[in-house]
């Protein structure tokens, strides 16, 4: 703290709080299949389904933390095996997660795994599961 801040605090009684170094961000990772030829519109719809399904599973404290910090989302590309594996890992670690299987009314066969969503949860927990996946293009 600068000398001026020390004097100001002494004179006014104002104490400046330092930001917490342990503060963590929250985010949600949406995983989309990039290997089955879905149109962009279909991908967006499947990602939205996954996001909402996972959001509904989040506890009040994590939900509020995520909402209060901007509702950060990332969208990642993966094939079916990777999506299922990451979904199962998140569930086993107690992180809210959702898997989307399409109804088959438009572009893909019924029951096709199209997307998953992990979180919202602390970024470090999400990154430990999805950190090696690439952003979708």
Residues of the chain with pLDDT under 70: 1-23
Buried b (16+ CB within 10 A) or exposed e, 47-63: bebbbebbbebbeeebb
**What is the number of structural domains in the chain?**
1
Is residue 24 a part of any domain in this protein?
Answer: yes
Dist CA 43 CA 90 (whole Å): 21
**What pTM was computed for the model?**
0.82
Q: Residue 36 is part of which domain span? A: 20-130
Concatenated DSSP letters for 84-109?
A: HHHHHHHHHTT--EEEEE---SSSS-
| pLDDT computed for residue 16 by the predictor | 42
Handedness of CA 46, 48, 51, 53 (dihedral sign): negative
pLDDT for residue 24: 72
In a domain, residue 31? The reply is yes
Rounded Cα distance, 94 and 42, in Å: 29
């Amino acid at each position: 703290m600068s000398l001026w801040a020390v004097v100001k605090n002494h004179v006014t009684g104002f104490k400046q709080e330092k930001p917490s170094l342990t503060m963590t961000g929250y985010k949600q990772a949406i995983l989309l299949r990039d290997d089955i030829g879905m149109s962009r519109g279909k991908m967006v719809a499947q990602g939205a389904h996954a996001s909402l399904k996972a959001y509904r599973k989040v506890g009040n404290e994590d939900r509020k933390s995520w909402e209060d910090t901007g509702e950060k989302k990332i969208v990642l590309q993966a094939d079916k095996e990777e999506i299922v594996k990451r979904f199962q890992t998140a569930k086993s670690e107690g992180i809210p997660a959702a898997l989307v299987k399409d109804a088959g009314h438009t572009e893909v066969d019924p029951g096709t795994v199209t997307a998953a969503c992990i979180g919202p949860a602390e970024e470090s927990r999400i990154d430990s599961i999805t950190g090696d996946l690439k952003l979708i293009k």
